[in-house]
Structure 1
Amino acid sequence: MSLRSSLATAAGKSSYWLLHDILHRGGTSLPGKIATKLDPTVLKTIANKFDFIIITGTNGKTLTTALTTRVLREKFSQVITNPSGSNMIQGITGTLLTANASKSGVKPLAVLEVDEANVALITKYIKPKVFLITNIFRDQLDRYGEIYSTYQKIIDGIKQAPDAVVIANGDSPIFQRDTLKNQKIFYGFNHQPMVGDIKAPANTDGILSPTDDSILHYHYITYANLGSYFSTTDNFKRPHLTYAVTKLHELTPLSSTFDIDNSSFKIEVGGLYNIYNALAAYAVGRYLGVSNEQIHTAFDADAQIFGRQESIKVDDKEVTIVLVKNPVGANQTIDMIATENADYSLMALLNANYADGIDTSWIWDANFEKLHATNIKAVITGGERYQDFNVRLKMAGFTQQSVYPNLADALMAIKAVPTKKVYIMATYTAMLQLRALLAQKGYIKGGMGE
């Protein structure tokens, strides 16, 4: 280790000690920022202490990372991760700097959520054993551009680690566009007979065949552009799935029961999209030798995931916080909420900071009109861009809204709703601000997470 790297490592660790042990605040971004400022290549110096699994994609990274970490801890003694979604190079550097040293001489597994635009930056310094890719949807146009630009950012990173295995969502056609040297394994849904012939809705992204850019057909669609696709102009079709959901049993707002490879599993989060996340974690686990029984144990754990369907008691209210950031995620959240049988209220919090994406036009492509068919009884809008959400929901037919421009008043708004159950759809920084408020008032422990 060079003198520069030694100084950067010491400074990063010292800042973490100050934040964590003295000021009692979590956080890995600041220690990572300090370390990379002193030595931009410090990640390369510390990378040889770990074996890496990189998890990336548009939606589901945080929950998939958490579930994968739980699964692997059933077999491996040391598994570290970046649990609060600090997924850029500074946060990842901080995570590795502050990880405990190996106890057995065996390298710990580092299961890392990585921002799509940071994959190539990370793999410049570390060479993972596995890449896990969840999906690619339109998201934060100001940062990523359209989906093919996002795809290329990920592929550029993977090409720097040709020996890694790529475990990808086979239900996404876009993952058939590359010419990677890497071994590829696919997962997806095989829960319906492959006899249909349908097309995705006209405004769906990512439905072009990689062979000739013709519009793909589907035997069935799970959601958005995901499903059992095939071309009518040549022989292109969905690849063989090594791991697959074979049956859906019960979907509720708080849990999902389903079969993977004809074995039954349950996770304590709702939504079809979260079954994909569980399937991805299962695929990594099985590839690395974790047994079905061990995965059952991991999925049975009901620990809350930071900002992802967290259930919180606020006096007599049952509050569920769901992160939203793009049309596909919002639509899947709406579908999840639609499985709620009880009356509920909705709080929609919209910020437009860098971490959220400064372009808020995506809210117009989400199907909020569908909420009229649910048991919704009250609507609240808030956050720094509350006016945008207020107008969008008015156009969706929700003309009676309570508006809270100051997020500090959100707690009062939650307590004032007429229903016991409250669903909160929030962008990332709005979610952080809300959690900080709830922590300040003693409803949760910890707020910002970073």
Structure 2
Amino acid sequence: MTLKSSLAITAGKSSYWFLHNFMHGGTSLPGKITLSIDPDVLRDLAKDYEIVIITGTNGKTLTTALTVKVLQAKYGKILTNPSGSNMKQGIVTAFLTNKKNKQGKKIAVLETDEANVPIISKYLKPAAFVLTNLFRDQMDRYGEIYTTYAKILEGIKMHPTATVIANGDAPIFNSQDLPNPVIYYGFNHQEDHEQMAPANTDGLLCPKCQHILHFKNRIYSNLGKYYCPNCGFKRPELQYQVTDLSQQTPQSSTFMIDGHEMTIHIGGTYNIYNALAAYTIGAFLEVDPQTAVTALDDPNSKVFGRQEVVNVDGKEVTLILVKNPVGLDQVLQMIKSDSEPFSLAILLNANYADGIDTSWIWDGRFEDLPFDRIPAILTGGERYKDITFRLRVAGVPEANFDQEEDLEKVLQKIKQMPTDHVYVLATYTAVLQLRKMLAQQGYIKGGMD
């Protein structure tokens, strides 16, 4: 370790101590301070770690959290960035604040922003890259999905011996030949039946010949058992797969992976993919199936904004982060399966962290919501007019409809909603703002650092 990196690490740790103890924050600023002194410090910080990088459009944060649970069951302490601060400075902070595991393997599981994969790959030697999915997201920042994938591949190609653990149901992850060993996971729980995806689906063209892809099974969006009738391009063989899907509610899912039954205490088909990815990573790092199943069957598996449930004056308020069309649509499909009446609040911001383009809200199928079982709907946030107009077009009954820009007043109106259960769908900065208010009023311990 050089004198410069030693000085940088000392400065970073000191700043974290102050921010954490006196400002109740510190997920990225210590990393920024450290990097300002030594831009290459990550190379020293990450030395001797077996590193797993998890990236993709949706599911990074929960897949990371579930993977940590699986690996902790065998290896004890795992270094990670649990706050979701997934750019270079946040990852540096994660290493700065880690208390080293004095026994056994030193493992780091890092959620990584797609555009930051090549940036941090310059300094790390990953054992594995995990690819969850790629959908249209923050078009102002990423562009189309093949542009985003090119950024990820730039990082992967720096490490041709690292294993790629990819969602085999996503055609894009089978679109280019890599020298790396590849492990695919996906769904294989139904008999084949011919079908097509809707015309506006992301990534629907064959990456080899540009013909429209067909499906023998489609899970959602462009994920499934795809094939090209023109050139023969098709889904690769899956090493780990969901073999049965027995029960789904908005709060849980029960399914089988290669004959092993498990339950996760979070709803949505998209979260089964996250659990399957965590199971696959565990298998790659030699965690036995039963240990993984037990670790994933944890009622406390929810993380920031991912179906996080907060008791607000006796109401069960479920916070759900939404940020792009596919994720939004999957959340809508999940909540509409709730058999009990519920209220709904949708909070839309358009800051840099949210994506400044809000046109994605038009791809969510709000028209499918069971408005007869939703006695109160509220829109809020800085772009409340946009989401209000979208819901009016969807046919929300005016008698059940309210709107409020001020988030403090939004929280008061949530408390007054007529049902015991309230779903709050919110973009990233809106979730942060709402959680801060909930913390200030004593409903949760701490906001978001």
Category of TM-score, reference length = shorter chain: over 0.9
Equivalent residues of 1:340, 1:375 under 8 A apart: no
Aligned to 1:407: 407
- Deviation of 1:210 after TM superposition, in Å, equals 2.0
Q: Which runs of 4+ in 1 moved over 3 A?
A: none
- Residue number in structure 1 paired with 2:52: 53
Determine if contact 1:224/1:328 at 8 Å carries over to the other structure: yes
Partner-residue secondary structure (3-state), 2:186: strand
- Pairing of 1:67-216 with structure 2 (within 5 A): 67-104=66-103, 106-194=104-192, 196-216=193-213
Q: Tell me if 1:42 matches 2:41.
A: yes
| Contact kept? 2:131, 2:166, Cα under 8 Å | yes
Q: Are 1:261 and 2:258 matched, yes or no?
A: yes
**How many pairs does the alignment contain?**
446
Alignment partners' CA distance in 2, 1:121 and 1:297: 35
1:5-28: per-residue Cα shift (whole Å, max 9, x none)?
1111111100111112x3161432
CA contact (8 A) 2:186 2:242 kept: yes
1:247 aligns with 2:244: yes
* TM-score, with structure 2 as normaliser: 0.97
- Note the C-alpha offset of 1:76: 0.8
The one-letter code of the counterpart of 1:296 is V
Distance in structure 2 (CA, Å) of the matches to 1:291 and 1:26: 37
Per the TM alignment, residue 420 of structure 1 is displaced from its structure 2 partner at its CA by 1.0
Partners of 1:404 and 1:416 lie apart in 2 by 14
Aligned to 2:295: 298
CA contact (8 A) 1:324 1:330 kept: yes
Task: For structure 1, list consecutive stretches of 5 or more residues without a partner in the other structure.
Answer: none
Q: 2:390 maps to which residue?
A: 392
The whole-number CA distance in structure 1 between the counterparts of 2:80 and 2:373 is 38
Structure 1 contact 49–107 (Cα < 8 Å) conserved:
no
8 Å contact kept, 1:251–1:271 = yes
Which runs of structure 2 are paired with 1:301-312 in the superposition (5 Å)? 301-303=298-300, 304-312=302-310
Check whether the contact 2:8–2:35 (CA below 8 A) recurs between aligned residues. Answer: yes
Structure 1 range deviating more: 129-138 or 294-303: 294-303
Say if 2:371 and 2:397, in contact at 8 Å, map to a contact too: no
Partners of 1:98 and 1:83 lie apart in 2 by 12
Taking the aligned partners of 2:191 and 2:31, their CA distance within structure 1 comes to: 49
SS of 1:117's equivalent? helix
C-alpha distance in 1, partners of 2:246/2:396?
Answer: 33
| Contact in 1 for aligned 2:371/2:396 (Cα 8 Å) | no
Task: Name the SS of the counterpart of 1:193 in structure 2.
Answer: coil
For the residues of structure 1 that align with 2:444 and 2:198, how far apart are their CA atoms?
Answer: 41
Contact residue 155 and residue 178 of structure 1 kept, 8 A:
no
> Which runs of 5 or more residues in structure 2 are unaligned?
none
Measure how far apart 1:102 and its partner are: 3.5
Shift of 1:302: 1.7
Shift of 1:399: 4.8
Amino acid at match of 1:267: I
CA distance in 2, matches of 1:397, 1:278: 35
1:352 lines up with 2:350 in the alignment = yes
**2:230 corresponds to 1:233:** yes
- SS at 1:446 equivalent: coil
Q: Is the Cα contact below 8 Å between 2:63 and 2:277 reproduced in 1?
A: yes
The 3-state SS of whatever aligns with 2:306 is coil
Q: Distance in 1 between matches of 2:425 and 2:184?
A: 31
Matched residues in 1 for 2:99 and 2:158: separation? Answer: 27
Shift in Å, 1:373 = 6.0
Using the TM superposition, give the Cα deviation of residue 398 of structure 1 relative to its aligned residue in structure 2, in angstroms: 1.4
1:31 corresponds to which residue? Answer: 30
Q: Which residue does 2:435 correspond to in 1?
A: 435
Query: CA contact under 8 A between 1:173 and 1:206: conserved in structure 2?
Result: yes
> What one-letter code is carried by the residue in structure 2 that aligns with 1:10?
T
**1:425 maps to what in 2?**
425
- Residue pair 2:169, 2:185 contacting (<8 A) in 1 also: yes
Structure 2 residue aligned with 1:362: 360
- Aligned Cα RMSD in Å? 1.2
Once residues 336 and 14 of structure 1 are traced to their aligned partners in structure 2, the CA distance between those partners, rounded to angstroms, is: 44
Question: CA deviation digits over 1:303-361, x for unaligned, max 9?
Answer: 23111100111012111010000010001001110110110011000111111111111
How far apart, CA to CA, are the structure 1 residues paired with 2:124 and 2:226? 34
